[in-house]
Amino acid sequence: MQTGLYGEEEMNKKLLVLISTLALTLMVVPIVSPVKAAGLKSVTWIDPNYKGYDDYYRQYVNAYLMGTEAKVLVTVYNTLYPSQKAYVTVRIHMDWATENKTSTETDVLILPGRSHTFEVNIEVPTTVNNLVIHSYTIYVSYYKSPGGELKEIEHRHYTDFAVYSQDQSDAQDYKAQVEMWNMNYTLTEYLNITSAKAKEYWIKSIVEKRLGDKSYVYGNFEEAKNHYELALNYTLESFKYDIETGQSFGDNFLGILNARRSLLGLQGWSWLIAAIGFFFMGIGVVVYLVRKSKPTASPPTTST
């Protein structure tokens, strides 16, 4: 019996030790767990060659011309938990590169709850493929001290970077100009009445614009550029003829109005004189009728 009681006491002691250990572990884990950052708040590409929806890639892009330098601003907030200061450096890895590009400022002190915007400059080689969309990864490193122990590293992956050839860039530029003219200028009402030439150029510009759209979607950027350039030229010619014809028509129309106004002015004086004449004529007729209607004296009677 004693042996059994002794064994039961030992089991209870072991169970108590296990429970205490688990409780202590649960209290310690939050203290020694890795800090949480999640402070990368915004990524802004500066002065891209094109920014917006690209019909070839079928997505929104930040596009830079081959052989140029791209600049990106990365804003980082210090949201480390628990609250603590950190020395921060930003690095970017492009999918065509073998090494990361480091921000112009490194080991920047960011206090808890504060932010800092980092600048990273990236050279775009002339050998990069412009027929595919490119990806990049941004790394944000938090250090305890400048060049010291790493506290946390955060990374984000993006797929919205495009590299344009010169033809591709020119095509987008001509297309944007055509769309801007069409959106901000309305042809005058004389186009379908007096300006056949303006209408002809207008139709040609629409056709060339559509051909350019088709070529661009298929990746024929040189053809697209040529079509868009023709569309722009035809659009400008159409506006030119429309304005000139409209001005000529307007001048002629105003001339007609002025002539009619002068004629109406002369006719107005004639009508006034005629009205006065008819007025006095009417008075004469009334006087005549009044006099004619007066009774005359009866002839004298004779006695027999």
Cα–Cα distances in angstroms (integers) from residue 68 to residues 63, 119, 121, 165, 284, in the given order: 11, 16, 10, 11, 99
Distance CA 276, CA 119 (A): 90
Q: Write out pLDDT tens, residues 144-189.
A: 999 899 999 999 999 999 999 999 999 999 999 999 988 876 655 4
pLDDT at 273 over 80: no
When pLDDT is cut at 50, 70 and 90, the band that residue 298 belongs to is very low
Q: What is the pLDDT of residue 188?
A: 57
DSSP string, 155-215: EEEEEEEEEE-HHHHHHHHHHHHHHHHHHH----TTTTTT-HHHHHHHHHHHHHHHHHHHH
Determine which of 28-32, 104-108, 300-304 has the lowest per-residue pLDDT on average. Answer: 28-32
